[in-house]
Structure 1
């Protein structure tokens, strides 16, 4: 099977291209989010760091921090350095560090300091912070260098000294400082200050609202364009196939009567005059007449397809109830005993603006279909009125034929459309199209209604107020 003739290949190309586009846009949006997240409140952070540096000059962590370090850590450090036993050293170290961190958490004044910074720098008051103690090192033996006695671990609750910020990361870290103390006891420590809003993610997404909107719009618009393009391609492919089938069909339909007429005419020409009799001449003439009428019908349909679309209705206010009866009498003469046509007239007159020729075309084509697609021995079509709305009339047309399959319902009014049932019968696929076109010109509608038991039920919907 050729790729160009397989719609499923195009469907998969459409789906995969749409997914690829969505993935690419998602990747770009995600990287934009990461960049925004890294630089979120960068200016405010710089202002806070500058102000914080001014407030804690010559202090550790916060104003009054030097005193806490001196009383609760520096006094205990000589004793810790004098311990030689490693097990005792580890126990004492943990005890001193935990007590020291507990004093920092209990006696800090960072809440007041942080609020003062926000006010002085004219920053939003909804910022929150987290002050963490990350690392503490001492020198026990100069040859061995710095020995860590405290190292923060991930999600360690002991690391927090002050603040209510829950989620901390490198993106909301405002500063990380390492401080060396060379006055008396040698030690150094590292601490971090994290600053952020409680709703950081929603704030970042809000800043990206335009990016998100245009990204989603781009994806949806591209998918819509691809889908519409695919649908147009499918419809054009179907129309091309219908046109090709129509050309093949009309070639056959025209060739058959023409060949029959030629053969019949040749038979008359070759028939010896002395042997000619009235019966043979009549039979041959009847063949020519039937095929000539068949050919004329096809030519008429082709000409109608050209002229009917440009024709303007010639409206006349008429009693649609009585006009229907008159037109059905004319149609019944054409079908003679081929199909039984019954009509139940309404009890009153219905004045409607109508073009009688267009109305005749509608009824004629619908009744012809009722006859053509009917295998019953006693073919029958019944017409009657239904009035469910004061402004709308419904002419119901029911037959006892084969009915319309669900697969064909969406296409029966299309030009040149022929269902599978119609392939074995003569015709050009124009009858219902003409009926639909004539109805539209008069602002009417033709719909397929549910058949009661079998056959087809059509309705002509006629507005009484045009």
Structure 2
């Protein structure tokens, strides 16, 4: 069972993770699709308006003149001279040119007002934020032969490190988390003539909480995915628990069949052997042999009868039909204890009844009540390792109830086992100091009888000190 349960669990876990991965994959791709389409009309309007505003210019309106002032003319000629004569001075001067250009561009940046105008004019989302980046600047001393003045892969010590990134130098804007989804445009402006430059810049516009907004749009899909996965998990656990119950019941039934087969075969085999012996002329010549064999047949027949009765009771006790009649409990107990003593004539047993109850007349089903008491007395004998076994039956009463207690000096019942002793077919699997055969039905019958009469049953037990069962019966008012 352990192996099959492990295989079942493994298959279920693999199936669950496969389903979860498929769900995550589908949700992720839906998120990406929504991400690609998010604010697409707004991006198109901003792109067209921005490119119109910087026609024949770069970065922002007026930025072209700033770049021309620092990079073209005498500065570019001086840079060429240093390039050809002094490498160290060339790198230092190139950094100063870049530093001056960037600082002036940042100081003169007017994209804030331009973007606000575009938003107002086209009634766009007022929460839109932007980032304007300088991506690259190359200079040419000869026609169409460029060399980098600024390379975004490098870090320039004269510039603030906070504005430098792998995407470029931030000229303006507060938008963070830049990606292709927030990119509005990326432009490159160049000239084919000598002593010119090539510049690349990019504008990003987006809402500050883009992913959260997309997730809000997707909440029905997300909820359905979560509920579907949760439903599968819940269904799995319910199915698994039911499977365990069914498997346990199946195992208990198998154990019952094996036990009852063994129990039935034992007395039946003894009867068959005794019967064959009675046919042997050498054996039956002596009268004492016949008496002995008939006693064997009698005892084993009674045992077989009890086993068959137990099997029948197993079916009958599922739906007990009570035939109640008014009975004196003390009289019934006297009769039962007498029969019980005759059953265990060979055992050393101290069996006594303390009839302390002042009222003992109750309504009950005699057969069920007798089954209940005999099963409790049988357990008191079977689960007892003392040479002299002590069983005390005590009755007490008050205005409303009659109590019957059966106390023994047996091996006792541990707390874990007490939780299951009334279960059908339950057999304690822990090692016991006494070996007891049975079907695990005795206390199940007791519970069925108690519930059918709507009585109460309490158990007190301590390992090594014995057990006390107390039956509480309502008195007729």
Matches within 5 A, 1:276-315: 277=287, 280-313=289-322
When normalised by structure 2's length, the TM-score is 0.76
Deviation, structure 1 residue 161: 0.8
CA distance in structure 2 between the aligned counterparts of 1:65 and 1:186, rounded to whole angstroms: 16
CA distance in structure 1 between the aligned counterparts of 2:149 and 2:403, rounded to whole angstroms: 95
Cα distance change of structure 1 residues 395 and 92 upon mapping to structure 2, 3 Å threshold = farther
Q: Deviations over 1:32-89 (max 9, x none)?
A: 4445445444343334323433444444322343443454544565545653534344
CA distance in structure 2 between the aligned counterparts of 1:460 and 1:41, rounded to whole angstroms: 77
Deviation, structure 1 residue 99: 0.7
CA contact (8 A) 2:328 2:361 kept: no
1:332 to 309, 328, 337: 337
CA distance in structure 2 between the aligned counterparts of 1:43 and 1:463, rounded to whole angstroms: 82
Instruction: Name the structure 2 match of 1:149.
Output: 149
2:448 to 423, 431, 437: 437
CA distance in structure 1 between the aligned counterparts of 2:460 and 2:130, rounded to whole angstroms: 71
CA distance in structure 1 between the aligned counterparts of 2:19 and 2:128, rounded to whole angstroms: 38
Matches within 5 A, 1:209-358: 209-268=219-278, 270=280, 277=287, 280-313=289-322, 325=330, 327-336=332-341, 338=344, 340=350, 357-358=367-368
CA contact (8 A) 2:102 2:171 kept: yes
Q: Does 1:174 align with 2:184?
A: yes
1:419 to 405, 428, 432: 428
CA contact (8 A) 2:20 2:229 kept: yes
CA distance in structure 2 between the aligned counterparts of 1:66 and 1:311, rounded to whole angstroms: 101
Aligned residue pairs, count: 455
Moved more, 372-381 or 418-427: 418-427
Q: Deviations over 1:130-182 (max 9, x none)?
A: 1111111232111x523221122388624111111232233332321223368
What are the ranges of 5 or more consecutive residues in structure 2 without an aligned counterpart?
155-160
Deviation, structure 1 residue 303: 1.4
Cα distance change of structure 1 residues 151 and 38 upon mapping to structure 2, 3 Å threshold = farther
CA distance in structure 2 between the aligned counterparts of 1:295 and 1:99, rounded to whole angstroms: 110
When normalised by structure 1's length, the TM-score is 0.78
- 3-state SS of the aligned residue for 1:414? coil
CA contact (8 A) 1:374 1:402 kept: yes
Instruction: Name the structure 1 match of 2:462.
Output: 451
- 3-state SS of the aligned residue for 2:123? coil
CA contact (8 A) 1:77 1:185 kept: no
Cα distance change of structure 1 residues 194 and 367 upon mapping to structure 2, 3 Å threshold = farther
Cα distance change of structure 1 residues 64 and 377 upon mapping to structure 2, 3 Å threshold = same
Q: Deviations over 1:338-372 (max 9, x none)?
A: 55556777878799986565444333323322222
Moved more, 419-428 or 109-118: 419-428
CA distance in structure 1 between the aligned counterparts of 2:274 and 2:170, rounded to whole angstroms: 109
Instruction: Name the structure 1 match of 2:158.
Output: none
Cα distance change of structure 1 residues 383 and 332 upon mapping to structure 2, 3 Å threshold = closer
CA distance in structure 1 between the aligned counterparts of 2:99 and 2:193, rounded to whole angstroms: 23
